[in-house]
Amino acid sequence: MKGKPLVSIVSAGLSKFGKIEGLYARELFAEAAKEAYERCPNLNPKKDIQALFVGHMGESYEHQGHTGATAADWAGLLHIPAIRTEGACASSGAALRAGIYAVLSGLCDVVMVGGVEKMTHRTTPEVTEFLAMASDYPFEQWHGITFPGLFALMATAHMHKYGTTEKQMAMVAVKNHYHGSLNPKAHMQKEVTLETALSSRVIAWPLKLYDCSLITDGASCLILTKPELAKKYTDTPVHIVGSGQASDTIGMYEREEFTSLKAAKLAAKKAYEMANVKPEDIDVAEVHDCFTIAEIIAYEDLGFCKPGEGGHLAEKGETKLGGRIPINTSGGLKAKGHPVGATGTAQAYEIYLQLTEQAEKRQVKDAEIGLTHNVGGSGATAAVHIYRRE
């Protein structure tokens, strides 16, 4: 039997992603929670939900901390334990892990997990500075390197070692923008051509504008319960059957190689073993494409191809809808957007839609097993989860 369920997702919610003017992060989280409640009429949120875990990267954007209590207040969940988790861009991947712990421990029957970030009201230099806090301060931030620069180092190393090309990276962007054009909640809902992607301005060579994810506002959430209780709330639960999380050095300069993320490989190994599945069993995946090179490296770290073959996988169209292993059907961070605290559970939201056949124009036919891959910083944190439909 593939994958004994750890917990079950009985509902999920996602706010609109994009440049959302006039709303605070707490209001975006309330929007996501409202959808989750409406999808699950058998749930009484105030009575049934016993804890909230919410991923949120930084207080700097809104000069607001104490995110757990704030999100609980606006989601109508006063009086329960509400805890913020922080793992940089993997903050809500960590929230999902915490929710799984809470249910498996027996302390909770039903929990909400999610994440939120409000970013677009800040200038690009401010956002760049706030995001850089997820890298090493004395040896990276202080010297002026930013995340485009760190991932550019990975890209040039990958190009040197394996012959990966700028065209292959651009093809990841083209593919994800196509998927984003099919997602009504995506930040960027327009296709781009390969020529447009390749000719866009350089941000940190070889990464260009269309190789970089978007500064975005948004929120996401899931409602988890014990598998034996799932049918009380929905006829179509999605079971989480594998969960792995690992850490690596905060600074890239301490790592043995730049062409792979050790934490992601360790997290994936744990999740695959727990779920009793192999990479070839995955029908659809959401991976952390903060930059196009990150998606190519994810293909390799997750075992969808051999090391060095990620660029070819993208070039052959195997990760596009209709391909062998559709990846980032939501549009990914690249087109759906990357409100950093919300990203991990937003990935899970897409897999929930896919496995319950609610993904509409971007539906993967007969999808039974899904995977999410959520990375924090330049790879110091990684969380991988595997899902199976009922």
* Pairwise CA distance, residues 154 & 62, whole Å: 31
Average pLDDT, integer, range 101-124: 98
Task: At 88, give phi and psi (nearest 5°).
Answer: 55, -130
Average pLDDT, integer, range 68-74: 98
pLDDT above 90 coverage of the chain, percent:
99
Does residue 338 have an active-site annotation?
Answer: yes
Residue 236 lies in a domain: yes
**Residue 1 pLDDT more than 60?**
no
Please give the helix or strand (H or E) that residue 284 lies within, else none: strand 284-286
Q: Are strands 110-117 and 218-225 parallel, antiparallel or unpaired?
A: antiparallel
Alpha carbon separation from 308 to 24, 140, 346 (Å, rounded): 42, 27, 28
Alpha carbon separation from 328 to 37, 180, 325, 364, 370 (Å, rounded): 25, 9, 10, 11, 11
Average pLDDT, integer, range 361-376: 98
The residue from 239, 288, 338, 373 that is catalytic is 338
Q: Are 96 and 222 in contact (CB under 8 A)?
A: yes
Residue 178 lies in a domain: no
- Which tokens sit at 160? 């040197």
Return the amino acid letter for 234.
T
Residue 263 lies in a domain: yes
Average pLDDT, integer, range 284-294: 98
Residue 205 lies in a domain: no
Residue 156 lies in a domain: no
Does residue 40 have an active-site annotation?
Answer: no
**Residue 3 pLDDT more than 80?**
no
Query: How confident is the model over 309-359, as pLDDT tens digits?
Result: 999 999 999 999 999 999 999 999 999 999 999 999 999 999 999 999 999
Number of domains in the chain: 1
The rounded Cα 158 to chain-centroid distance in angstroms is: 23
CATH code, 349 = 3.40.47.10
Radius of gyration of the chain (CA): 19
Residue 207 lies in a domain: no
* Residue 194: predicted pLDDT: 98
pTM for the whole thing? 0.98
* Residue 298: predicted pLDDT: 99
The residue from 89, 108, 212, 305 that is catalytic is 89
* Residue 167: predicted pLDDT: 98
Name the residue range of residue 87's domain: 7-122+214-389
* Residue 21: predicted pLDDT: 97
Residue 150 lies in a domain: no
The sign of the CA dihedral 305, 311, 312, 315 is positive
* Residue 2: predicted pLDDT: 67
Query: How confident is the model over 140-189, as pLDDT tens digits?
Result: 999 999 999 999 999 999 999 999 999 999 999 999 999 999 999 999 99
**Residue 37 pLDDT more than 80?**
yes
Residue 188 lies in a domain: no
The single-letter DSSP state of residue 329 is T
The sign of the CA dihedral 342, 347, 350, 351 is negative
